[in-house]
Amino acid sequence: MMTILLKIWKSLKLPTSLQLFAMRRVNDQFLIGVTGIIFNDQNEILLIKHSYRDNGKWSLPGGYIKGKEHPKEGLEREIEEETGLVVSADERLKIRTDRHSSRLDIVYSGKLIGGEFKSSEEAQEVGFFKFDSLPQISKEQLIFIDRAMEKR
């Protein structure tokens, strides 16, 4: 029965925001998300303009892991699916909860391995930024980036 429901769900191809809304309404457990602070060879940080974020603001890459998927693999998969970039999630920095969205988030730092940016339904644009030239992002994400830079 679950297989049939999953196939129907996937065939609907609902916008990400609607999928998340539905998952949060029917799921009484935490969703597990991953966020990455990904550096290139120039020590710049990868940011993405997601189509589903407020006003096309920049943010760190991330997403939700799939069942039986290791969080590192989930982050690497999410970034490649959304952007075409291949990364390595190397070190876990933090595990945090978001009580407002029932999300458990695992934050990793890592590095760009290769690939070429390809826009997708979720990622409009990517950029690599020096820490002192970051566009406006959330305070929480700045703290994660600062922590990752301290460990480098």
Q: pLDDT, tens digit, for every residue of 72-103? A: 999 999 999 999 999 999 999 999 887 677 78
Residue 116 has pLDDT above 70, yes or no: yes
Q: For strands 85-98 and 103-115, give the pairing.
A: antiparallel
DSSP 102-121: TEEEEEEEEEEEEE-----S
Q: What is the pLDDT of residue 103?
A: 81
Q: Residue 13's pLDDT is what?
A: 73
Could you tell me the pLDDT band of residue 59, with boundaries at 50, 70 and 90? very high
Say what the pLDDT of residue 26 is.
62
- The answer, yes or no, to whether residue 20 has pLDDT greater than 70, is no
For the chain, list the domains and their CATH numbers. Answer: 30-151 (3.90.79.10)
